[in-house]
Amino acid sequence: MTILVTGATGTVGRQVVEQLVKRGAGVRALVRDPSKADFPAGVDVVQGDLLDIDALRGAFSGVSTLFLLNAVVADEYTQALISLNVAREAGIERIVYLSVIHSDRYVNVPHFAGKYGVERMIGQMGLNATILRPAYFIDNDLTIKDVVTGYGIYPMPIGCKGLAMVDTRDVGEVAAIELLRRELSAVPLPPEWINLVGPDTLTGPQVAAIWTDVLGRPIAYPGEDTAAFEQNLRQYMPSWMAFDMRLMSERFLTEGMVPDARDVERLTVLLGRPLYSYREFATRIAAC
């Protein structure tokens, strides 16, 4: 039996592939660029993308379980719906879908609303799936580490409600555990939703305080100017995506990403170890 991983060369997808291989699973990876597919031995690499119907049909052939990860792109929603329809056509009855926490609340944020639409499709089509809902990735802050260390500020406008930031290593391992739980079940399992969170719910000032502690010098949290945040992002990404990120940050300020009461306990039991923390991430970056 084969588990197919989409988005396999990305930050999360690569973690999922490695965790599945470590557990002895048969893995197929769908990738756009095979030159980036430096996976462990034994992984079956298939070239294609989620809008190429012929490539999808080929990649899904003989697959028993699907890990569906869609990048934040303009046609993300279309990619997901096509993938799920082709998966159903191929007879795949075991699915793990990577959504996002509070997809049903951040209704004005395009990539959140799109993922919630996919969740609704999964439910209405009667697909047997686990919906993984990760919070803000700790690893996102790799992109601003030079700002923190070089300019002494933590620039992400994450607000004072708190975000339960999650390490992508935890995301990848939980995904692998769920994929194998479904893969090894004698019958398709009922739907399930899992919030993927970190051990701490952190505000902007608290993250700045962690950096201050691990670097041994003051790191400031300059505030929550989401318009300036959007303008800065436009240097690195399309304008529509920068605006999407601004809308997301505005919901951080008004709502945050606060976990449910037993999310941390549930994940700790599932993994059999403590969750990776933001402090561990910052300490690792500081050591480099």
pLDDT tens digit sequence for 270-280: 999 999 999 99
Q: Mean pLDDT, the chain, as a whole number?
A: 96
> For residue 208, how many other CB atoms are within 10 A of its CB?
22
The per-residue pLDDT for 288 is: 86
pLDDT tens digit sequence for 55-72: 999 999 999 999 999 999
Please say whether the beta carbons of 113 and 103 come within 8 A.
yes
Q: Which amino acid type is present at position 203?
A: T
pLDDT tens digit sequence for 114-145: 999 999 999 999 999 999 999 999 999 999 99
Please state whether beta strands 192-196 and 63-68 pair in parallel, antiparallel, or not at all (unpaired): unpaired
The alpha carbons of the chain give a radius of gyration, in whole angstroms, of 19
The per-residue pLDDT for 206 is: 98
Contacts of 247 (CB under 8 A, 6+ apart): 108, 109, 110
pLDDT tens digit sequence for 158-197: 999 999 999 999 999 999 999 999 999 999 899 999 999 9
The per-residue pLDDT for 1 is: 80
pLDDT tens digit sequence for 258-267: 999 999 999 9
> Where do the domains of the chain lie?
2-134+168-196
Please say whether the beta carbons of 99 and 123 come within 8 A.
no
Contacts of 70 (CB under 8 A, 6+ apart): 6, 7, 50, 76, 79, 80, 83, 98, 115, 118
* Domain 2-134+168-196, classified CATH 3.40.50.720, yes or no: yes
The per-residue pLDDT for 259 is: 96
CA distance 192 to 178: 10
CA distance 167 to 157: 19
The per-residue pLDDT for 77 is: 97
CA distance 202 to 164: 6
pLDDT tens digit sequence for 232-246: 999 999 999 999 999
- pTM for this entry: 0.96
pLDDT tens digit sequence for 210-224: 999 999 999 999 989
